[in-house]
Structure 1
């Protein structure tokens, strides 16, 4: 049994994780610990507080007791908002606090793109435009080329968590561009685990979503490869 730990802010789309665990269909357990979200706002000052070291370290003891072998900070905006270097420091501090390999959803996106050999991307974000632009800048710092960025202007994770497939497809269509090699949906508050196959079929390219890549990143940290076609191209390259 491989136990993977996730620090997830508040409550919105955390039910993606038991769905993903079922789709993996192997000896893998996904343990989700909820961190204090503070103010639920996709606003830079609130996001910086959400990803502060004390808030992340508060959940690591429970993950250690659960036997987690790696931990991922399951929040994209609460990591890329620190910038490229700051997000690295956030992960280093988390690894030190947890005593195990650590990463964040922001790095999960960049590592997944690298693993797939893709560079040109389109970003369909639920965030306000200024926050979506910060994610695009983070991707650019990693070496990706962002061809299109669309922000939906949603302020709270609570509202994002109410979105269904229709809203997800509409947002994705607004950002999609033919030249992009992959389409990215970066919010872990957005339910996407049930929609990945539909998204990839609709846009005819790999689609990377926050909770999907977060799980893949935790597997990467533990040197696990899982074939799960329901979770898209990222989980079907390695049979």
Structure 2
């Protein structure tokens, strides 16, 4: 039987990175009513995850920034991982030598140090404010606790830069294409699977009782880890290899679990 259902946001639960369909919302609410724990696992910030749960009108577990922060549905801090200050500064200096828009996160907020011409357009994709801060480097030297760098640009160019990042910072960072035209850089070892493992250990829920759904390269480890995994039909072929079944919507995955009597 399924005791936990884990869903990604962008490209999965969030359509066009903005809204949740009525059918998907009702499916998750039904799972919650049936006693299934709902977990959101995303590259977005914890504040944004909280906003989604508020929209769903349910309470659940929160895995944010690709696994750097994990909180239980009771708001217990289950897991967290941030960059060492020296690594943050080196990454900041290296990345700002390029023209890619760069968003830098700590637990609370998303910041940027160089003006971004499309900032207003970007803001519409986020559920929390993007904060422009010219002295961000100084903040990082003090108490910023950097948890993620996000680069935006043409995917082919980001993949080329990713190779350089890995060659220079391989022992300190993990990188993911979290969405089309979006490269995330997080502390080494941080990913959704590791965060989910910590959450399952905290809750006592078995891996065999867990289902997950996602669409991105940052979902691969999570999909491969959970025995009941669904991948979105819009996902890249390499991502689809790691899901047990392919669906077009979150509610289809939920329906499939009911059809196979995996939910009481």
Pick the structure with greater CA Rg: 2
Question: What is the TM-score normalised by the length of structure 2?
Answer: 0.38
Question: What is the TM-score normalised by the length of structure 1?
Answer: 0.41
Between structures 1 and 2, the one with greater strand share = 2
Between structures 1 and 2, the one with greater helix share = 1
